Amino acid sequence: MILAALLLVAAPAPDRDGWESGPPSVARPAGFAYAECLWSANKRAIRAALERRVDGGENPFAGLKMPACFQAPPFAARFPVFVLRGLFFERLYHQDFDRSPPVESFAAVAPVAYPIAPRAVQTDVARNYRGLVRIGDCAVRRAPAAARALLSTRIATGGEAKAIAAMEPHFVACQAPLTPVPFSAEMMRGTVAESLYRLSTAAAPGRGVGLAGRGDE
């Protein structure tokens, strides 16, 4: 199952994809800082890239400016696109919604539009993304408070581990009746971030900046 291989990206063999080139307590914070650096110089471009159809074509982040604010980790050139996408959505959520009261329920929110490719597009990336957003949207709708709590934790900490444990039952339920695929920490966090951002924007469209980038400098 392709999705299973993707979701287990947090625990590959050494240097298999360059993500775990160091212990999680080192590699994940380094990746987080790398994404933050890219965001600082590419706000509008990143918002636009996150709305492009996810079909396995050109890397949507390939044209971003590479500022000198951070020494990119050695795996940056091979940084998993889905992980980077999740980090950007987490950055967006913190910027647009951290100072807003939490949404207690998304029950009244209509289905939101994710930039998924049509079923006729059967690339690995397109299929994986369709699966990720289906699971993520379902899990965040089931547990909005737990989703927000996860994003409030520092990465690679005990607090994050507890927050992930609180979300896991919802990720399992949202994969039924299939055998559930275990999510790595960064994939769960990133999947939650995108769905929580999109659902929060849909629940209160005037509250956040949105992917159009209004207000970005």
Burial of 213 (0-12, 13-18, 19+ CB in 10 A): middle
Phi-psi region of 96 (alpha: psi -120 to 50; beta: other; left: phi over 0): alpha
pLDDT digits (tens, 9 = 90+) for 180-210: 999 999 999 999 999 999 999 999 866 544 5
Predicted structure pTM score:
0.84
Instruction: Assess whether pLDDT exceeds 80 at residue 21.
Output: no
pLDDT digits (tens, 9 = 90+) for 118-137: 999 999 999 999 999 999 99
CB neighbours (10 Å) of residue 46?
24
Of the candidates 185, 153, 165, 158, which has an alpha carbon nearest to the alpha carbon of residue 28?
Answer: 185
Mean pLDDT for 83-104 is 94
Of the candidates 197, 216, 217, which has an alpha carbon nearest to the alpha carbon of residue 207?
Answer: 197
Kindly list the domain boundaries of the chain, sorted by start residue: 2-203
